[in-house]
Amino acid sequence: MPGIANRLGAVREGSRSVLSLARWETPSNTRRSPATNLLIAPPCELVLPSLETIPVEHRFLSDDRELLTLAEILVQSNVAAAEDWEKSGRDATKYLSVSLQRWMREHGAAAIDRRFDLDLTLSDRLVDYSDERGPEGMLYLILDPDGAAFVLLKPTLELLETAHPRLPSTFLMYFAGSLNRWVRVYDHRDAEERVDMLREWYEGEEDREQYEVPDIEGCTPECLKEPALSVRRLKELARSTHDPAVQALIRGLLELYSVSSRAKRPDFSEDMGEQLMDANPPLPCLLAAFTQGDAVVGCFDDEAQTAMETTPHPNLIIPLQLSNPASVRRGFRILGVACETLAAASRLIDLMPGNDDGVITREGQ
């Protein structure tokens, strides 16, 4: 997540306020504009005009009552800081951006930023440029990837198998399951579904033998066929193992599982379904492959060719009912758990051998 919101979305014609908080707060060197006082020479004997006093930013809001209502609730709920109001120039949009930046920093943004490239949007609708908006007084926090993070599994699975034959399948089940509670993980099971679909497509072809499908079964380690261990047994292994690397992986996995379970994902409501009636599946936030360029990666790349033909379903939608402050507080608690889950996953990937290349380098760092 490179920086919450240096990009703010304007209000669409006929809509209510829309605040696009697309990136964690990270300085960027791209598209840097020269200072206005360098565009025109300073006043001289001819008294040429200067741009120094001209505002460099203008924003049009047809109706910012919803943003002001949300800002008031966030202050009363100790989510936002009152002192940030003056720092934001008494601008509701800027104030919410600053407040969300603060919230993310407090819930693991630095760790998330190492591995995941995500956007957070606050909007009154789930599809950009759509006339279909949510119910009156409803805003949505939307979490989606700008690109899929990558994790290499095979070195970790091989290490864990030396400690216990059922540990690799246990690790992958809790790792992917904890993340899938909040965002989409693309792994060998998604690839298998892709292969099944391809086989169905080719079944009716006269020359179907000429078509090759990715060999997902052939690239999947045999150790994953073992039944997974219980959480209780996993905790026992964390105490009994003598390998510090294995112990660190198990403890990181238990932390991820625990954090992920602290909240329930919001229910998918009828109004969300109406807005996303024709949406594609969510874009993956993480690609989990066994080796570089294996059949799982091949299926992922194949699906990526058509993923954006239709607007994808958001990974996480958190509705905020402004007439119910408890709904807003609950929504931000859920967002906090989702972010802390991603942060725990990022820390765990740091411990997994073979994943040094997956760290994202941000401009300005």
The per-residue pLDDT for range 296-313, each reduced to its tens digit, is 999 999 989 888 888 899
DSSP character for 35? P
pLDDT of residue 37: 43
Report CA dihedral (141, 64, 5, 54) to the nearest 10 degrees. Answer: 170
Q: Which of 30-44, 87-101, 281-295 has the highest mean pLDDT?
A: 281-295
Q: Is the pLDDT of residue 276 over 60?
A: yes
pLDDT of residue 190: 95
pLDDT band with cut points at 50, 70 and 90 for residue 286: very high
DSSP character for 268? -
Q: Which two structure tokens, joined as six digits, stand for 294?
A: 């294996």
Q: Which amino acid does the sequence have at 268?
A: F
Q: What is the rounded CA–CA span in Å between residue 336 and residue 263?
A: 9
Q: Which amino acid does the sequence have at 27?
A: P
pLDDT of residue 238: 95
Greatest Cα-to-Cα distance within the chain, rounded to the nearest angstrom? 85
3-class secondary structure per residue, 150-189: EEECHHHHHHHHHHCCCHHHHHHHHHHHHHHCCCCEECHH
pLDDT of residue 9: 32
Q: What is the rounded CA–CA span in Å between residue 223 and residue 165?
A: 7
Read off the pLDDT of each residue in 149-171 and give the average, rounded to a whole number.
97
The residue that leads in pLDDT, 120 or 45, is: 120
pLDDT of residue 4: 31
Q: What is the rounded CA–CA span in Å between residue 115 and residue 241?
A: 28
The residue that leads in pLDDT, 200 or 32, is: 200
The per-residue pLDDT for range 100-136, each reduced to its tens digit, is 989 999 999 999 999 999 999 999 999 876 777 888 8
pLDDT band with cut points at 50, 70 and 90 for residue 314: very high
Mean pLDDT of the chain: 83
Q: What is the rounded CA–CA span in Å between residue 181 and residue 261?
A: 8
Give the DSSP H or E segment for 99.
Answer: helix 92-105
The residue that leads in pLDDT, 58 or 19, is: 58
Q: What is the rounded CA–CA span in Å between residue 85 and residue 94?
A: 9
Q: What is the rounded CA–CA span in Å between residue 249 and residue 160?
A: 9
Helices H, strands E: what count in the chain?
13, 6
pLDDT band with cut points at 50, 70 and 90 for residue 71: very high
The lowest-confidence range among 46-50, 210-214, 336-340 is: 46-50
List all residues 6 or more positions away from 113 whose beta carbon is below 8 Å from its beta carbon.
Answer: 1, 2, 24, 26, 360, 362
DSSP character for 200? H
Q: Is the pLDDT of residue 62 over 50?
A: no
Q: Is the pLDDT of residue 33 over 60?
A: no
Reduced to 3 states (helix: H, G, I; strand: E, B; else coil), residue 137 is: coil
Q: Is the pLDDT of residue 22 over 50?
A: no
The per-residue pLDDT for range 149-159, each reduced to its tens digit, is 999 999 999 99
pLDDT of residue 363: 66
pLDDT of residue 214: 85
Q: What is the rounded CA–CA span in Å between residue 146 and residue 157?
A: 28
Domains in the chain: boundaries: 61-358
The lowest-confidence range among 103-107, 179-183, 274-278, 327-331 is: 274-278
Q: Is the pLDDT of residue 175 over 90?
A: yes
Read off the pLDDT of each residue in 185-191 and give the average, rounded to a whole number.
96
Phi, psi torsion values for 172, nearest 5 degrees: -65, -40
pLDDT of residue 200: 80
The lowest-confidence range among 18-22, 43-47, 226-230, 233-237 is: 18-22
pLDDT band with cut points at 50, 70 and 90 for residue 18: very low
End-to-end CA distance of the chain: 14
pLDDT of residue 198: 83
